[in-house]
Structure 1
Amino acid sequence: MLIETSKRLAQQAYEKILELILSGEAEPGEMLTERRLAETLDMSRTPIRDALLMLESEGLLKRHGSRGLQVKQMRIEDYMEVLQIRLLLEPEAARLAAGHLTAETISDLRKRLHDLIDGAEKGATRPDREAVRAVDDGLHGAIANMAGNAHLAQIIHSLRRQTQIFDLRSIPERLTSTCQEHLALIDLLEQGKSEEAAEAMREHLDHVRASIIRRLTPQ
C-alpha cells in the first residue's frame, strides 16, 4: 500500500512538472530544484525527486553538475533527429495497432477532432493548446499502446515528449490539416487496414516535418 501511494504521488508530481515544462512556465535553460518545486506544487520532496528522475530519463531535463536539473533547450537538429526516429517507429506501431483500437476510443477521438475542426471553421478563439495536445496524445498514445509491444510504446512516448516541447514553441498550429490527417488515420485503423494506416502515419509525420522546415527556412 505504501509503495502504491509513493508511485501515485510520484506520477502526480511528474504530471504537474511536465505541464510546467510544456506550458512554458518552466522555460528552456531554467534550473529546477526539489525545494522550489516542492513549494510551488505543495508536495513533499520525495515524489518531486522521483518525478525529476523520470523526466530526466525521458530527455526533457538535463543534469547540470551539482546545481541540479535544467529544462532542456531543444535545438532544431535535436528535433529533426528525434522526428526521424519517430518516422521509423510510429508507422510500424500504426500497422500493428490497426484493427485493435476499441470502438469507444475511436468514437471519443473522432468527436474531439470534429469539435476542434468545427471551432476553427466557426472562427472561434484560438484553441487551447492543452486541448489540442490532449487529442494528439490520445491518438498517438492509443496507437502506441495497442501495437502490442510495451517497449515500443514506452520509446514512442518518450520521443513524443521530446518533440512536443519544440512543437509548442516553434512551429505553427496545423490544426485543421492535422485533425483531418488524424481522422483519415482513425478510419484506416478502425477498418484494420494495416499497411494503409502505416503509410498515413508516415505521411502525417512527413507533413509535420515539412511545416517545420518551411517555418525555419528564410524566405
Structure 2
Amino acid sequence: MTENTLQPVESEPYPQIRDKVYKQLRQAMLKGLLQPGERLVERKLAQELGVSRTPVREAIRMLQLEGLVAHLPRVGSVVAQVTDTEVLEIYRIRAVLEGLAARMAAEKINPVQLQQLTDLLEKIEELAKDGDFAQLEKVHQEFNDFIYKVADSTRLYGMITTLVDHITRYVRVGYCHPGRIEEATREHRQLVEAIKMRDGSLAERVAREHIDNSRRAYFNEIALVRRSF
C-alpha cells in the first residue's frame, strides 16, 4: 500500500467512525490503492486511520460480505482477487441490467434531462479528443449514472451500481486497448441518439452491445499483457 493512502478519521460517535473507515477502505480497494492479494492488518490500518481496531475489524467484515475481502487460512484478511470467470460474469450481468436501464431511460426521459445527457456526451467527446483520460473517466461515470437515474428504478439502480463498483478497478484495463476509447465514444453517441428517438428497444440493444464490446476489449488487453511476460 502506498504511503498516505488513508486519512485519519475524526473523533465522532462510533457508528460514524465505523462507516467512515468502511468507506475509506472500500474506495482504496476500488481505486487500486489497496491491491488484490494485499494483507489487511488491523493494527496497521487502525494506526493509519487514527482509530481503534474495532471499527477496522467491523469494516473488514462488511467488505468481506461484499466480496471485496477474502479470508485466507494462516494469512488472514486480504483484498480479494477477481478471477477471469467472475469478471466475465459481471460483464454479462451488466449488459442485461444496463440494457434495461437504457430502455427505461428512453421511455421516461424528459427534455431537460435529454439536454443534460447531451451535454455530458459532448464533454466525453471533447475529453476523448483531447486525451484527458482522468477527466474522461470521471465524466463517463457521470454519464452512465445519469442514465441509471433517469430509468427511475431504485432497485435497478442499486443492482447496477453495486456491479459497477466491483469492476471499477478493471474497467480501465479495457480502455487501454488500442482504439477502444474512440469506439466507446461512438457507442455513447449511438446510445444518446436512440434515447433521443425514445426507441427503448434500440437503446437497450446499443447499451448491451457497448458492454459486450467493453468486455471484449478488457480480455483482449489482458491477453496482450499476459503475452508480454
TM-score w.r.t. length of structure 1:
0.74
Q: Which amino acid aligns with 1:211?
A: A
Q: Which moved more, 1:134-143 or 1:75-84?
A: 134-143
1:197: which partner in 2? 203
User: Does 1:85 find its partner at 2:88?
Assistant: no
Bigger-Rg structure (1/2): 2
| Kept after mapping to 2: 8 A contact 1:93/1:143 | yes
Q: How many residues align?
A: 212
Q: Tell me, in whole angstroms, the C-alpha distance in 2 between the residues paired with 1:39 and 1:49.
A: 13
Change over 3 Å in CA distance of 1:150–1:182 after alignment to 2:
same
Q: Tell me, in whole angstroms, the C-alpha distance in 2 between the residues paired with 1:105 and 1:49.
A: 42
| Aligned-pair identity (%) | 26
Change over 3 Å in CA distance of 1:112–1:87 after alignment to 2:
closer
1:55: which partner in 2? 63
Q: CA RMSD in A?
A: 3.4
Q: Which amino acid aligns with 2:189?
A: L
Q: Which moved more, 1:107-116 or 1:27-36?
A: 107-116
| Kept after mapping to 2: 8 A contact 1:100/1:146 | yes
Q: Unaligned stretches of 5+ in structure 1?
A: none
Q: Which moved more, 1:63-72 or 1:158-167?
A: 63-72
Q: Which amino acid aligns with 2:106?
A: A
Q: Tell me, in whole angstroms, the C-alpha distance in 1 between the residues paired with 2:15 and 2:117.
A: 29
Q: Tell me, in whole angstroms, the C-alpha distance in 2 between the residues paired with 1:167 and 1:61.
A: 19
1:168: which partner in 2? 172
Q: Which amino acid aligns with 2:158?
A: Q
| Kept after mapping to 2: 8 A contact 1:99/1:192 | yes
CA deviations over 1:19-69 (Å, ceiling 9, x no partner): 322332211101224443333344565654554344333322223358543
Q: Which amino acid aligns with 1:214?
A: N
2:212: which partner in 1? 206
Q: Which moved more, 1:77-86 or 1:157-166?
A: 157-166
2:77: which partner in 1? 69
Q: Tell me, in whole angstroms, the C-alpha distance in 1 between the residues paired with 2:92 and 2:173.
A: 19
Q: Which amino acid aligns with 2:84?
A: I
**Runs of 4+ in structure 1 displaced over 6 angstroms?**
none
User: Does 1:117 find its partner at 2:121?
Assistant: no
User: Does 1:156 find its partner at 2:160?
Assistant: yes
2:106: which partner in 1? 98
2:143: which partner in 1? 139
Change over 3 Å in CA distance of 1:15–1:184 after alignment to 2:
farther
2:8: which partner in 1? none
TM-score w.r.t. length of structure 2:
0.72
